[in-house]
């Protein structure tokens, strides 16, 4: 953990945001593209939501940065 911040001083439900530093990461070579980026269509990540809820990525699209 690098930092942690409490939002709204625990009022209205509040939250704590934790900022961390990744020390080691293991990635299956089968999800990597030639440019060493993760192929999201192969990886199919799942997002953790509140309680017992999860979500999958739907349609993937790109917007060029300026």
Q: What is the pLDDT of residues 55-65, one digit of tens each?
A: 987 777 788 88
Residue 63 within any structural domain of the chain:
no
Sign, CA torsion 42/48/53/55? negative
DSSP secondary-structure letter at 51? T
What pLDDT digit, counting tens, does each position of 34-45 carry?
A: 998 999 889 988
To the question of pTM greater than 0.75 for the whole model, the response is no
- Mean pLDDT, residues 22-46: 91
**CA 60, CA 49: separation in Å to the nearest integer?**
19
Quote the domain boundaries for residue 22: 3-56
Contact (CB, 8 A) for 27 and 43: no
**CA 56, CA 46: separation in Å to the nearest integer?**
5
Per the structure, how many domains does the chain have?
Answer: 1
- Is residue 24 over pLDDT 90? yes
Residue 11 within any structural domain of the chain:
yes
Q: What tokens were used for 52?
A: 């017992």
**CA 28, CA 39: separation in Å to the nearest integer?**
11
Residue 66 within any structural domain of the chain:
no
- Is residue 32 over pLDDT 90? yes
């Amino acid at each position: 953990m690098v930092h942690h911040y409490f939002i709204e001083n625990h009022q209205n439900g509040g939250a704590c945001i934790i900022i961390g530093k990744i020390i080691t990461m293991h990635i299956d070579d089968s999800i990597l593209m030639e440019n060493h980026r993760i192929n999201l269509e192969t990886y199919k990540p799942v997002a953790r939501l509140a309680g017992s809820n999860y979500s999958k990525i739907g349609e993937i699209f790109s917007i060029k940065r300026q």
